[in-house]
Structure 1
Amino acid sequence: MAPLVRSVAALAITAALETTAFVSTPNPYRTARTTTAGARQAARPGLLRPSPQHRYERVERCRVPTIAAASAPVKAVADEDVATLPLEQTKRDDLRNLAIVAHVDHGKTTLVDAMLQQSSVFRDNEQMGIRVMDSNDQERERGITILAKVEGPKPQTRFVLKKALELGLQAVVVVNKIDRPSARPEYVVDKTFDLFCDLNANDEQSDFQIVYTSAIKGIAGNEPEEMEENMEPLFKAIMGMPKPLVKETAPLQALVANIDYDDFKGKLGVGRIHSGSLKKGQNVGLGRPGEDVKTGKVSELFVFDNLGRKAVEEAHAGDIVMVAGLAQIGIGDTILDPANPNPMVPIAVEEPTVRMTFGVNKSPLAGREGKFLTTRMIRDRLMKELDRNVALRVEETDSSDAYEVSGRGQLHLTVLIENMRREGFELLVGPPTVITKQVDGSTHEPFETVEVQVPDEYTGAVVDLLSRRKGEMLNMTPVETGGDAQMTNIEYLVPTRGMIGLRNSMLTATRGTAVMDTIFDSYRPYAGDIEARDKGSLVAHENGVATPFGIAGAQSRGVMMVSAKDEIYRDMIIGLHQRPGDLRVNICKAKALNNIRSATKSISESVTVPMEVNLDMAVEYIQADELVEVTPTKIRMTKNAQMAGKK
């Protein structure tokens, strides 16, 4: 089977059995029409399973004539009907345009691994590796896909699926992890129907084909009980998707959906050619509706081949391409024929919602590890990031040593910080704060929809956490797990301010059993004060090296974050105080040696294991008067002397 993944027009949804829980909300536009399962099955044979009956009734209720007429989705065209298409439209038999969309940890990358392994992408003697689509170290460690994606870290299925359905795209639903003991395929398919209905899918989209897979085992089947020993059923489903309709002879239109940067080639634009063709060396225009057309020349042209890119002389409608030579190119631009400009509706890039300060490391331990330490080096790195990270914003601050960096959320910014740390930078990072707006004279702030699946015994703790952070409950429903465990799905609308620091608190309150998904909802009126961290910090009293004796004396006051022999400096945060307010302690003092053999033995045995401090935990922990010190090997927290002076 030849490699299939080339461009974006068809959609595959992967739903993991143990974590998928989509909540259906009332829809006033749904009609009340219903039909019997048998009649519906006869109308569309082979697509839907004959039971349970209520599935087909729910699909029938999905029909929304007014919305369908307004969106005018493109319908699949049979091969024998090609002659009836408009003269400028043709079908490309050599492409099946594909995108895979799912929540975090639902097996997208593992599924692609299995497909690539069985589709002759790799030579027989070539080592494939694990999660080859995650080419970045952080992608493998965090379990998310970051690089070369249009919208950055955005795992939310609902948002992406909604956009795909609005474009009239067809879907194949892939129910993954079918080999799990807790597999519940009937429930997952049922909930997926609910999701499609909730997103106003039309009849053709609602009659999606279902393929069951175990990506880790590389097997698939059209029924959970009838699995084949390879991924052939999934390949057949993909090949059965509608062939892309293109306008080969129409004027050039290619919508730029992503940008990248190469040290030698400069700025690169990535997009799909919707009509016409594009050649290397061609003079083209860059346009947006209502704006003047900018001109340039395509110096190099690439298409995506297997896991890499391949230089070509010409590409045609339906191809996803990468172009070099257009220095002013940006997401939402249309590459077009300057003699016949017709720009497409641009893609809207989400605005940043969270900001942090990035500054020079000024701690007493600064400069011992990093290679890039100065303000100029930090500024150059941030400016370089802007060439490829389209949703990032970098602004000057009142301080000549710090910059304000804004992104789409805490994860967006911590990924950048972690990359810089691994490259050899040292930084002082401020706490994340949300970006507010003034609407009709009142302050509005960003809100997020939060969906949490948790065992019943921890439901009260989750509700309490979200309510105390000014959350508004949208839905709470039981989840069918197929086993003895009783789970509840809770959906809240929470200010983004309330999400900062929530993940650690959630894991603590639920003993690590909660699964949480979030997505930006909208800007809404300011929700009022949200309670801050209810405990203070243990702060180092002096410079020195932590000793077992000093730690043993301090750990009765709270939870320690450092170990014996760690270097300490004054104002460094060394632990979490058990009470509100900060407390200075001396953990560098040593015990007088009265008996050399036993002076430290009993003390060392009484020292508890410290709390782990990583970047995500530190960024969530710090408050307005605290900073995170980031070096290539260490993550420390410190009090902000400048902010303390203002107090």
Structure 2
Amino acid sequence: MTKVRNIAIIAHVDHGKTTLVDKILYHTEQMNDQKKLEGDLILDNNDLERERGITIVSKNVSVQYKGIKINIIDTPGHADFGGEVERVLNMADGVLLLVDAFEGPMPQTRYVLGKAIALGKKPILVINKVDKENCRPEEVMEDVFDLMFHLDANEDQLDFETVYGSAKNGWMGADWQKPADDVSYLLDTVINTIPEPQENQGTVQLQITSIDYSNYIGRIAIGRVTRGTIQPNSPVTLVKRDGSMVKSRVKDVFTFTGMAKEKASSVSSGDICAISGIENFDIGDTIADFENPEGLPPISIDEPTMSMLFTVNDSPFFGKEGKFVTSRHLRDRLYSETEKNLALKIEETSSPDSFKVYGRGVMHLSVLIETMRREGYELQVGKPIVLIKEIDGAKHEPIESLSIDSPQDVSGKIIELISQRKGDMLKMEPKGDLMHLEFEIPSRGIIGLRTLVMNVSAGEAIMAHRFVRYEKFKGEIPSRNKGTLIVLEAGTTIPYAMDKLQDRGRFFVGPGIDVYQGQIVGEHNRDNDLVVNVTKTKKLSNMRSSGADDKVKLAPPIDLSLEQFMEYIEDDEYLEITPESLRIRKIFLKEHERKKASNKAL
């Protein structure tokens, strides 16, 4: 058996995890010079990950160092991808906890670290970005120790090694004030600290923890061999999560080398591999011995905390931009997503055109929507709804731990915003030039909060949150306090008409944009909805020239991201999503239909 170490990397969004893995690949010469010249982050290889600077899907990389194979698993840092994290940690024997030398451990880091400690994994602390001004590596190390203590780490886990460095500058060492030449100190620490996988006796067992896909060989199962040896063309039994068994056959077995997969003649217990040829498998199933199959316990997945209605696009602009527009397309795509996205659940509704989709949070659902959008789908979604549970006859709702680092002069306004949304403050302390605030707040209160916090802090606040537990329902939370500007008749937005309406509110669209009746084009200054005519042209008389209009000055439209739009809409509105546009509309496009519906609701 080749000597193997399996490590998962845990880090908060943007703390430098993917950059570090890139540097390890360069150092162990698993990377050719061509890639070096391109200078791109190799691991975050899908467009969404690169744009957002976050890891969404875990990835496997393997390097050879001093005759030992090190399998590195990159984990998502955001709590919304909890389903992904849980599975990944099952493949590792230890974790690299990567934290920023200024920010220290963040709520998302805490979430994944808690999972790793509960599973008994051995941690190594990597304090990154020590080249930053006003960094505080010693204090951060103390913070991490306190955090591990609070997470009930055992003595062996609390006795962790600490490595300091700057992934961006390509070094890791024992002392943050003495830069090293490369990342070899970190790799030596991994080999000396992380235990070798145990050699388990018995028949073959491998739990499928992630799924890859190839156009040539179809679905590929990825997992760690827990027992025995897997060889190509060997018969196996697939033990499903529900306990049923299916006879099958392994076609090819691949191991990871650098970023690539290579065919192997056999893979022994402790190593991570990819397998082709097996049909109809799901994440959590076990590939076991053909004659004496023994399944591994199924992976537990965090429950969804939020639901959204997904429906076909029935707006007047239906089918103009997308390739996939029917309910069959939408249905097939959503169900195919549940195969690899374990934390996602789909429920049929009474209407054949709409589906209830349950997920871990706005970020989790927005990544799915953005991916579908780029694949050419058109759809509409309703307002995100937090799931309320009935416990002992009383309503309970999900509560989240929220941390905000904001400029000190706006911290008072932020505290006021959060207390309006039933949040309780737990901690307030200075952190460098910023003020560090910690709260517990209902998940309902977080929907739409980011936009308000960013407006108050002029975009300077750093906000992170994670699910903690269910608590008794906290009562009503005020939602959006402004009404909307609704289009009266279809046409193209005219600068002259928009100029006359500027004192009524702010627009989401600019001039020269096609709009339809019932579409929402702006936010009203007051709390009621206002129907406006943005397509009205100026009547020309023989006294006025058409050129006199050119001096109209319009404020730039508000540019909202997909997540901000999802958080902005109300119960009687839909967000229309097409490959090129995001539009908000009223569910009932005609004014008399809206009045009828509101009278019914009363």
For the superposition of Structure 1 and Structure 2, which TM-score range results when normalised by the shorter chain? Answer: 0.7 to 0.9
Provide the C-alpha distance between the structure 2 equivalents of 1:400 and 1:334, rounded to a whole number of angstroms: 35
Query: What's 1:387 paired with?
Result: 339
Higher mean C-alpha deviation, range 105-114 or range 267-276: 267-276
Query: What's 1:137 paired with?
Result: 47
Q: 2:592 aligned with 1:640, yes or no? A: no
Encode CA deviations 1:83-142: one digit per residue, 9 max, x unaligned.
xxxxxxxxx662221111011111111111222222211123444542111111010111
Encode CA deviations 1:232-291: one digit per residue, 9 max, x unaligned.
222222222234132254322223322344555444332211221112222323447993
1:24-43 correspondence to structure 2 within 5 Å:
none
Residue among 342, 348, 359 paired with 1:407: 359
Does structure 2 retain, via aligned residues, the 8 Å contact 1:259–1:390? Answer: no
Query: What's 2:69 paired with?
Result: none
TM-score by length of 1: 0.80
Provide the C-alpha distance between the structure 2 equivalents of 1:109 and 1:125, rounded to a whole number of angstroms: 19
Provide the C-alpha distance between the structure 2 equivalents of 1:177 and 1:245, rounded to a whole number of angstroms: 31
* Corresponding residue SS for 2:409: helix
Does structure 1 retain, via aligned residues, the 8 Å contact 2:4–2:197? Answer: no
Does structure 2 retain, via aligned residues, the 8 Å contact 1:277–1:316? Answer: yes
Q: Shift of the alpha carbon at 1:338?
A: 4.8
Does structure 2 retain, via aligned residues, the 8 Å contact 1:432–1:619? Answer: yes
* Corresponding residue SS for 1:158: helix
Query: What's 1:241 paired with?
Result: 193
Root-mean-square deviation (Å): 2.3
Residue among 319, 323, 338 paired with 2:275: 323
Query: What's 1:448 paired with?
Result: 400
Aligned residues: 549
Query: What's 1:121 paired with?
Result: 30
Provide the C-alpha distance between the structure 1 equivalents of 2:329 and 2:167, rounded to a whole number of angstroms: 43
Does structure 2 retain, via aligned residues, the 8 Å contact 1:354–1:406? Answer: yes
Encode CA deviations 1:179-198: one digit per residue, 9 max, x unaligned.
11121112211211111111
Provide the C-alpha distance between the structure 2 equivalents of 1:464 and 1:327, rounded to a whole number of angstroms: 55
Provide the C-alpha distance between the structure 2 equivalents of 1:613 and 1:242, rounded to a whole number of angstroms: 45
Provide the C-alpha distance between the structure 2 equivalents of 1:479 and 1:172, rounded to a whole number of angstroms: 28
Does structure 1 retain, via aligned residues, the 8 Å contact 2:81–2:360? Answer: no
Q: Shift of the alpha carbon at 1:582?
A: 0.5
* Corresponding residue SS for 1:226: coil
1:252-401 correspondence to structure 2 within 5 Å:
252-262=204-214, 265-287=217-239, 291-401=243-353
1:225-624 correspondence to structure 2 within 5 Å:
225-247=177-199, 249-262=201-214, 265-287=217-239, 291-473=243-425, 475-481=426-432, 485=433, 487-593=434-540, 594-596=543-545, 598-603=547-552, 606-624=553-571
Does structure 1 retain, via aligned residues, the 8 Å contact 2:282–2:339? Answer: no
Q: Shift of the alpha carbon at 1:538?
A: 0.8
* Corresponding residue SS for 1:96: strand
Residue among 104, 113, 119 paired with 2:13: 104
Change (3 A) 1:365 1:290: closer
Q: Shift of the alpha carbon at 1:460?
A: 1.8
Higher mean C-alpha deviation, range 161-170 or range 581-590: 161-170
Q: Shift of the alpha carbon at 1:293?
A: 4.0
Higher mean C-alpha deviation, range 393-402 or range 565-574: 393-402
Query: What's 2:56 paired with?
Result: 146
Does structure 1 retain, via aligned residues, the 8 Å contact 2:225–2:272? Answer: yes
Provide the C-alpha distance between the structure 2 equivalents of 1:456 and 1:445, rounded to a whole number of angstroms: 31
Give the residue type in structure 1 aligned to 2:548: A
Encode CA deviations 1:26-49: one digit per residue, 9 max, x unaligned.
xxxxxxxxxxxxxxxxxxxxxxxx
Higher mean C-alpha deviation, range 299-308 or range 420-429: 299-308
Q: Shift of the alpha carbon at 1:222?
A: 1.3
Provide the C-alpha distance between the structure 1 equivalents of 2:320 and 2:245, rounded to a whole number of angstroms: 51
Share of identical aligned residues, percent? 38
Q: Shift of the alpha carbon at 1:570?
A: 0.9
Provide the C-alpha distance between the structure 2 equivalents of 1:448 and 1:325, rounded to a whole number of angstroms: 42
Provide the C-alpha distance between the structure 2 equivalents of 1:326 and 1:471, rounded to a whole number of angstroms: 49
Does structure 2 retain, via aligned residues, the 8 Å contact 1:476–1:488? Answer: no
Give the residue type in structure 1 aligned to 2:48: Q
Higher mean C-alpha deviation, range 309-318 or range 568-577: 309-318
Encode CA deviations 1:441-463: one digit per residue, 9 max, x unaligned.
33222222212222222222222
Q: Shift of the alpha carbon at 1:574?
A: 0.6
Higher mean C-alpha deviation, range 111-120 or range 253-262: 253-262
Give the residue type in structure 2 aligned to 1:94: K
* Corresponding residue SS for 2:335: helix
- The unaligned stretches of length 5 or more in structure 1 are 1-91
Q: Shift of the alpha carbon at 1:330?
A: 2.7
Give the residue type in structure 2 aligned to 1:318: G
- The unaligned stretches of length 5 or more in structure 2 are 60-74, 83-106
Provide the C-alpha distance between the structure 2 equivalents of 1:611 and 1:289, rounded to a whole number of angstroms: 48
Encode CA deviations 1:295-342: one digit per residue, 9 max, x unaligned.
332233222221122232321111112223443433333332254444
Provide the C-alpha distance between the structure 2 equivalents of 1:506 and 1:322, rounded to a whole number of angstroms: 44
Provide the C-alpha distance between the structure 2 equivalents of 1:221 and 1:576, rounded to a whole number of angstroms: 53
Change (3 A) 1:245 1:381: closer
Provide the C-alpha distance between the structure 2 equivalents of 1:639 and 1:349, rounded to a whole number of angstroms: 36
Does structure 1 retain, via aligned residues, the 8 Å contact 2:241–2:285? Answer: no
Give the residue type in structure 1 aligned to 2:289: D
* Corresponding residue SS for 1:477: strand
Does structure 1 retain, via aligned residues, the 8 Å contact 2:283–2:339? Answer: no
Q: Shift of the alpha carbon at 1:556?
A: 0.6
* Corresponding residue SS for 1:97: strand
Provide the C-alpha distance between the structure 1 equivalents of 2:570 and 2:41, rounded to a whole number of angstroms: 37
Encode CA deviations 1:520-539: one digit per residue, 9 max, x unaligned.
11222222211111111111
Provide the C-alpha distance between the structure 1 equivalents of 2:565 and 2:342, rounded to a whole number of angstroms: 26
* Corresponding residue SS for 1:246: coil
TM-score by length of 2: 0.86
Encode CA deviations 1:567-614: one digit per residue, 9 max, x unaligned.
1111111111111010111111123445437522221xx211110033
* Corresponding residue SS for 2:548: coil
Change (3 A) 1:260 1:470: farther
Does structure 2 retain, via aligned residues, the 8 Å contact 1:613–1:635? Answer: no
Encode CA deviations 1:372-402: one digit per residue, 9 max, x unaligned.
1111122222222222222211222222222
Give the residue type in structure 2 aligned to 1:559: R
Residue among 560, 567, 572 paired with 1:625: 572
Provide the C-alpha distance between the structure 2 equivalents of 1:261 and 1:340, rounded to a whole number of angstroms: 29
* Corresponding residue SS for 2:146: helix
Provide the C-alpha distance between the structure 2 equivalents of 1:430 and 1:628, rounded to a whole number of angstroms: 6
Provide the C-alpha distance between the structure 2 equivalents of 1:405 and 1:349, rounded to a whole number of angstroms: 16
Encode CA deviations 1:146-192: one digit per residue, 9 max, x unaligned.
12467773582112212222333222211111111121112211211
Provide the C-alpha distance between the structure 2 equivalents of 1:564 and 1:125, rounded to a whole number of angstroms: 45
Change (3 A) 1:529 1:587: same
Provide the C-alpha distance between the structure 1 equivalents of 2:497 and 2:126, rounded to a whole number of angstroms: 56
